[in-house]
């Protein structure tokens, strides 16, 4: 009997364990299903996600003179694309305040400014914290100077993967077609300068990035005050490049007010640099003159000798970009600033170069397209807001610019001849 009772006890015990196992499995299945349903409901309800931000602000806002001292609310991030089509949900990437240094992505990195800015930022934040990107194959020295990746700004998925996989916190958007090149291919300029910008804005808003987009003297038109041109005035540009830059300024400001995007923008004057070839811009004569003066002693200018435009040496430009990106948000009274260093004509520049190279011969063969563009642009920039808000100050005036350019290009020419 004892043996039989033991057998029944074992059977009862096994049956009880089986029943408990089924109950446990059922509970786990129910919990999993509930979790899936809640997740699905959350992803398909962008309004609720938007309201979560409003609720957070309401909880933190002062009521009757009192303010909640601490509220544990997880900040939910969403981009405009997610609001319209809530296919997925994303949370903020690690912000700058949570890391020792920002992690920077530079688009259009092989243009006139990208390589120089990457060099400056790598000195400041470390080599591996600055990623240069472009659709072209980089020169050997650029490839070995720090991280470089392929990036097409018209490929939204590719951009998003780069930002997520590399934990990007700052994005510098240099991809664009310049003025004269853009006029020769308006559809391409529209795609790169406008559609590409939309991708950048959405990704920056979604992932809580600090975004820098440069603007230009080309963002103004013939009805703008020209000497000097203030930060806020009529803007009616006559080129697709200028139109796209006004669009970028306004879209960035809209995203700042609508989605809280940390958008920062500088209107660059004509930028002069020795280590890059002219890239199709209207102000490129001010770079070409130095190359031709050193190599051939002859220069043909495509603008009238009295065409006055604001200009800046590249070192000042790159430093201004870093300074505005590092500026505390409370010091910025606006999202887009003029910056300036000097203003000169082709004739004034030629005379300054001839002080160093007296045999330089200068002739003029006016390009009507570029001349019309230049005639619609500012003659001088008023950058008093940048100087007052975040202490902008340029280092290079015209004599320093000319001496620096000739020294740089002259030394390169001597090296080339020796080799």
Distances (CA, A) of 62 to 66, 69, 330: 5, 10, 20
Active site residue 241: yes
The gap between the terminal CA atoms of the chain, to the nearest Å, is 107
User: Which among 111, 127, 172 has a CA at the least distance from the CA of 119?
Assistant: 127
Q: Would you give the distance in Å from CA 300 to the centre of its chain?
A: 34
Local structure of 61: helix, strand or coil: coil
Contact 297, 359 (CB under 8 A): yes
Query: 21 Cβ partners below 8 Å, 6+ apart?
Result: none
Contact 406, 356 (CB under 8 A): yes
Which tokens sit at 409? 């290009």
- CA angle, corner 402, sides to 398 and 406, nearest 5? 170
Taking the C-alpha atoms of residue 262 and residue 93, their distance in angstroms, rounded to an integer, is: 14
Contact 158, 152 (CB under 8 A): yes
Q: What are the phi and psi torsion angles at 221 (to 5°)?
A: -135, -175
Taking the C-alpha atoms of residue 261 and residue 237, their distance in angstroms, rounded to an integer, is: 26
Taking the C-alpha atoms of residue 346 and residue 306, their distance in angstroms, rounded to an integer, is: 7
Check 241, 255, 285, 337 and give the catalytic one.
241
Q: How many residues does the chain have?
A: 419
User: Which among 110, 156, 117 has a CA at the least distance from the CA of 133?
Assistant: 110
Taking the C-alpha atoms of residue 152 and residue 159, their distance in angstroms, rounded to an integer, is: 7
Distances (CA, A) of 387 to 4, 51, 318, 337, 381: 97, 39, 16, 10, 12
Taking the C-alpha atoms of residue 270 and residue 217, their distance in angstroms, rounded to an integer, is: 8
Q: What are the catalytic residues?
A: 241
């Amino acid at each position: 009997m004892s043996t039989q009772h033991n057998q029944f006890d074992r059977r009862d015990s096994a049956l009880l364990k089986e029943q408990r196992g089924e109950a446990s499995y059922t509970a786990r299945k129910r919990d999993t299903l509930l979790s899936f349903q809640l997740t699905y409901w959350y992803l398909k309800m962008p309004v609720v996600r938007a309201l979560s931000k409003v609720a957070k602000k309401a909880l933190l806002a002062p009521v009757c003179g009192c303010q909640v001292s601490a509220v544990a609310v997880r900040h939910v991030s969403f981009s405009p694309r997610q609001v319209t089509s809530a296919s997925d949900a994303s949370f903020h990437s690690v912000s700058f305040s949570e890391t020792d240094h920002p992690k920077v992505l530079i688009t259009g990195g092989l243009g006139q400014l990208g390589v120089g800015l990457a060099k400056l930022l790598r000195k400041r934040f470390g080599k591996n914290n600055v990623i240069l990107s472009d659709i072209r194959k980089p020169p050997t020295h650029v490839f070995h100077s720090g991280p470089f990746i392929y990036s097409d700004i018209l490929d939204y998925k590719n951009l998003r993967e780069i930002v997520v996989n590399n934990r990007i916190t700052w994005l510098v958007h240099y991809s664009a077609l310049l003025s004269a090149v853009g006029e020769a291919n308006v559809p391409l300029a529209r795609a790169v300068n406008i559609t590409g910008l939309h991708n950048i804005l959405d990704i920056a808003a979604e992932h809580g990035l600090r975004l820098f987009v440069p603007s230009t003297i080309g963002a103004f038109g013939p009805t703008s005050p020209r000497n000097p041109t203030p930060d806020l005035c009529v803007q009616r540009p006559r080129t697709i490049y200028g139109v796209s830059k006004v669009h970028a300024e306004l879209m960035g400001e809209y995203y700042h007010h609508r989605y809280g995007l940390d958008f920062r923008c500088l209107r660059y004057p004509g930028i002069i640099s020795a280590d890059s070839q002219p890239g199709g811009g209207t102000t490129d004569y001010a770079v070409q003159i130095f190359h031709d003066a050193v190599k051939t002693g002859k220069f043909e200018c495509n603008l009238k000798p009295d065409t006055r435009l604001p200009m800046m040496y590249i070192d000042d430009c790159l430093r201004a970009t870093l300074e505005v990106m590092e500026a505390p948000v409370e010091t910025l009274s606006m999202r887009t600033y003029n910056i300036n260093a000097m203003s000169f004509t082709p004739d004034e520049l030629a005379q300054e170069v001839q002080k160093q190279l007296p045999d330089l011969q200068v002739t003029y063969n006016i390009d009507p397209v570029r001349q019309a563009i230049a005639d619609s642009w500012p003659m001088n920039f008023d950058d008093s807001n940048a100087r007052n808000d975040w202490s902008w100050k340029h280092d290079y005036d015209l004599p320093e610019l000319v001496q620096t350019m000739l020294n740089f290009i002259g030394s390169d020419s001597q090296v080339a001849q020796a080799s």
